[in-house]
Amino acid sequence: MRLSRSLSITSLSGLPLWEEESLPVQDLLLFEVSWEVTNKVGGIYTVIQTKAKITVDEWGENYIMMGPYYEHNFKTQVEKCEPPNQAIKAAMDSLNNNGCQVHFGRWLIEGSPYVILFDIGAAAWNLDRWKGDLWNACSIGLPYHDREANDSLIFGSLVAWFFKELTDQLQDKPNVIAHFHEWQAGTGLVLSRSRKIPLATVFTTHATLLGRYLCAGNADFYNNLDKFNIDQEAGERQIYHRYCLERAAVHCAHVFTTVSQITAVEANHMLHRQPDVVTPNGLNVRKFSAMHEFQNLHSMNKAKIQEFVRGHFYGHLDFNLEKTLFFFIAGRYEFSNKGADLFLESLSRLNYLLRVHKSDVTVVVFFIMPAKTNNFNVESLKGQAVRKQLWDTAQSVKEKFGKRLYESLLRGEIPDMSKILDRDDFTIMKRAIYATQRHTFPPVTTHNMLDDSTDPILSNIRRIGLFNGRNDRVKIVFHPEFLSSTSPLLPMDYEEFVRGCHLGVFPSYYEPWGYTPGECTVMGIPSVTTNLSGFGCFMEEHVSDPSEYGIYIVDRRFRSADESCNQLTQFLFSFCQQSRRQRIIQRNRTERLSDLLDWRYLGRFYMHARHLALSRSFPGKFKMDHLNLAPTQGFRYPRPASVPPSPSASLHSTPHHSDEEDDDTYDEEEEAEKDRQNIKAPFTLGAEPEDDSCFHQSSRCS
């Protein structure tokens, strides 16, 4: 199945804007409905939260989010207030007067959007009646034991009820657009359409339900997209009712969108509808923007990680921290979907290459994936205590040394260095050195794992034999908790940690978009992704030579698992060969890609979806004359003209060349200006014919 090109961005500086007229937002109300409004569960929370600012800038008080009410979230994230629109207030009062609880306020994030939150528990007494309504509307039944599906029905029923009351109040002016995210919110869309409520509806799937389940079960997903018996697969996994809700929402929506071309192909097979618009996920780049400071931030935060490494590897710190690179992988603990299996195997091969080439580079790899633990590892805590004790000892001796040196110089004497420290000082230092001795390897995990023997990461570490030995050039630290600045082990938040690392590695097999490499990009940190992730496909489309800009794309679609692993290993080994100057050049280039991921540009895809929905639901009032947007203008970053950052592309005879050997033709400002000019030269993307051979030999680690 050949991937058709997505609608290309045409809103960057210097490019022609889309020809469609802006919507009369003063005569419209936009509602965005999601289970993750004020309720962080997964990546959709990031999408909604980061997009809020540009949507509020466009729609003002006519933009309202809708989600479930949780008391703790409401008290800590929402400022309660009265609805500014009387029709909204009347609709809420109607629900409240009928035994439901609906809350209104401003979500305290950038943009401060209005939110309407529905109390699921307070309306649970209607569950049986609403199950009957759902069955009568679309013949979908929900089992009593599926709490999540039942909650989604209560939520959807409340949303549909609210929209019925609202539209009755408004009497067709202003018109209402309702944008629903994922199957949990989709029930409200299905019920609204079945009751013929006058809404323009958009439904976005960020990942298909069945696709995520199949990939988690190690199915050869992309090679068999057209061969799966969808109903049977959903039934065997006991999610048939959820799948039916998702599919019903997809087919009821006026406009169906998804976040990437790879997910569009998946949705076409799993849900039997081709998405109308691809809406890539963006970021609020200004939040991460550090201008020319991002290099200094990298240096500062790298020093914090080095301090952790000094403690964690005490007694085995026989490697040079100035020649140590920090790699990381982070996200939900989906071992195969996130590519942790491929990454671990490639680390084993990288360790072999570094040892064979007698490299003086050491790689410390962090796995930041939450798993079940019962506490910090005692050995990890001891390491940080030993490091702190050693630091205190060094400080006290330094203070004595400095005072005696100062007094000696005041007397006009050159001090006798053998006498400036007394025997007690040497005793203290010797005791400190003995305290750093260790007869075991540094731990590979920072916590006590509840399922140590069956944990996939630990099991594979045992298989490949990377136990942080002295001879290993690749060291592993598994941190099975999300990072926090209050942690006694690694007191850094996620953004600080990313800025301090050298490379993010995300070789995902199933990744509808992939925010982690996107966050690396806007912070100027190179990353590894794949052509089976939405982010990787997006970068392949818009950057001629992504690796020169610090975006390494592993081919998991056309290569076998072993070939993909070798390619990833080569990327990592090539990165280890870079000089410090080359890494700085590459970080500059990576950070310049930030604008590609800014909601100020990617938000236009959402604008187009809303306009399309209005033209389909209210054709008499809203029209779109140019609905066929397959061939459209876009942009493409060319390969940088100056010095390549990667040694594999240079002419050095040895991988261990010095900084002085580097070509001095690189001019950061000149290259940045060339990039700014190059993105002003549009090109045309044509729709490509579908071809099932596209997914042959898609790689999957066994």
54-111, pLDDT tens digit by residue?
999 999 999 999 999 999 999 999 999 999 999 999 999 999 999 999 999 999 999 9
Are the beta carbons of 616 and 200 closer than 8 angstroms? yes
Q: Residue 430: beta bridge partners?
A: none
Task: Tell me: pLDDT of 13 over 80.
Answer: no
* Closest-CA residue to 306 (of 435, 477, 444): 477
Give the model's pLDDT for residue 404. 83
Give the model's pLDDT for residue 396. 85
Contacts of 64 (CB under 8 A, 6+ apart): 29, 30, 31, 32, 88, 113, 114, 115, 116
Give the model's pLDDT for residue 97. 96
Two tokens, residue 558: 């056309």
| Band (115; pLDDT cuts 50, 70, 90) | very high
DSSP codes of every residue in 301-350: HHHHHHHHHHHHTTT---S-GGGEEEEEEESS--TTTTTHHHHHHHHHHH
Give the model's pLDDT for residue 292. 65
Taking residues 502-519, what's their average pLDDT? Answer: 95
Place of tokens 């029709």: 87
| Band (481; pLDDT cuts 50, 70, 90) | very high
Across the chain, what does the average pLDDT equal?
Answer: 87
Two tokens, residue 569: 């290993």
The helix or strand, by DSSP H or E, that contains position 46, with its residue range, turns out to be helix 43-59
Are the beta carbons of 565 and 349 closer than 8 angstroms? yes
Are the beta carbons of 601 and 551 closer than 8 angstroms? no
Task: Tell me: pLDDT of 255 over 80.
Answer: yes
Give the model's pLDDT for residue 251. 97
Task: Tell me: pLDDT of 622 over 90.
Answer: no
β-pair type (373-376, 447-449): antiparallel
| Band (142; pLDDT cuts 50, 70, 90) | very high
Contacts of 291 (CB under 8 A, 6+ apart): none
Are the beta carbons of 682 and 15 closer than 8 angstroms? yes
Round to whole Å and give the CA distance between 343 and 349. Answer: 10
Is pLDDT larger for residue 420 or for residue 322?
322
Give the model's pLDDT for residue 565. 97
CA distances 139 to 132, 192, 483, 555, Å, are 9, 15, 45, 42
663-664-667-671 Cα dihedral, nearest 10 degrees? -20
- Considering only 22-26, 273-277, 284-288, 503-507, which range has the smallest mean pLDDT? 284-288
Two tokens, residue 595: 């604008």
* Closest-CA residue to 365 (of 505, 520, 238): 505
Amino acid identity for residue 2 in this structure: R
What is the DSSP-derived secondary structure letter of residue 626?
-
16-32, pLDDT tens digit by residue?
344 445 788 888 999 99
Task: Tell me: pLDDT of 431 over 90.
Answer: no
- As a whole-number percent, the residues of the chain with pLDDT over 90 amount to 69
Q: Which CATH code is given to the segment(s) 25-278?
A: 3.40.50.2000
Please name the residue ranges forming H helices in 556-598. 561-577, 580-592
Collect contacts of 570-575 with beta carbons under 8 A, ≥24 apart: 570/648, 571/528, 571/547, 572/327, 572/346, 572/347, 572/350, 572/363, 572/503, 572/505, 572/528, 573/350, 573/353, 573/354, 574/646, 574/647, 574/648, 575/325, 575/502, 575/503, 575/526, 575/646
**DSSP three-state, residue 491:** strand
Give the model's pLDDT for residue 615. 94
Round to whole Å and give the CA distance between 189 and 177. Answer: 11
Give the model's pLDDT for residue 309. 96
Are the beta carbons of 671 and 532 closer than 8 angstroms? no
Round to whole Å and give the CA distance between 365 and 312. Answer: 13
Backbone angles phi and psi of 530, in degrees to 5: -135, 165
96-110, pLDDT tens digit by residue?
999 999 999 999 999
Round to whole Å and give the CA distance between 154 and 383. Answer: 50
- Residue 87 burial (CB count, 10 A): 18
Are the beta carbons of 130 and 195 closer than 8 angstroms? no
175-193, pLDDT tens digit by residue?
999 999 999 999 999 999 9
Taking residues 298-326, what's their average pLDDT? Answer: 94
* Closest-CA residue to 269 (of 314, 236, 221): 221
Is pLDDT larger for residue 136 or for residue 670?
136
Query: With b meaning 16 or more CB within 10 Å and e meaning fewer, what string describes 372-406?
Result: ebeebbebbeebbebbeebeebeeebeeeeeebee
678-702, pLDDT tens digit by residue?
544 333 333 333 444 344 445 554 4
Q: Where are the domains of the chain?
A: 25-278
Place of tokens 């280039």: 589
Task: Tell me: pLDDT of 38 over 60.
Answer: yes
232-250, pLDDT tens digit by residue?
999 999 999 999 999 999 9
- Residue 140 burial (CB count, 10 A): 20
Task: Tell me: pLDDT of 410 over 80.
Answer: yes
What is the DSSP-derived secondary structure letter of residue 543?
B
Amino acid identity for residue 655 in this structure: P
- Considering only 153-167, 297-311, 413-427, which range has the smallest mean pLDDT? 413-427
**DSSP three-state, residue 427:** helix
* Closest-CA residue to 69 (of 147, 133, 155): 155
Please name the residue ranges forming H helices in 420-508. 423-435, 456-464, 494-500
Is pLDDT larger for residue 503 or for residue 21?
503
Using alpha carbons only, what angle is made at residue 559 by residues 558 and 560, rounded to the nearest 5 degrees?
Answer: 135
Give the model's pLDDT for residue 653. 38
| Band (165; pLDDT cuts 50, 70, 90) | very high
Give the model's pLDDT for residue 424. 82
| Band (401; pLDDT cuts 50, 70, 90) | confident
CA 340 to chain centre: 15
639-669, pLDDT tens digit by residue?
776 555 554 444 443 444 444 444 456 677 7
β-pair type (102-107, 114-118): antiparallel
Collect contacts of 19-27 with beta carbons under 8 A, ≥24 apart: 19/626, 20/608, 20/611, 20/624, 20/626, 22/607, 23/607, 23/610, 23/611, 23/614, 23/622, 25/58, 25/59, 25/60, 25/62, 26/62, 26/174, 27/173, 27/174, 27/175
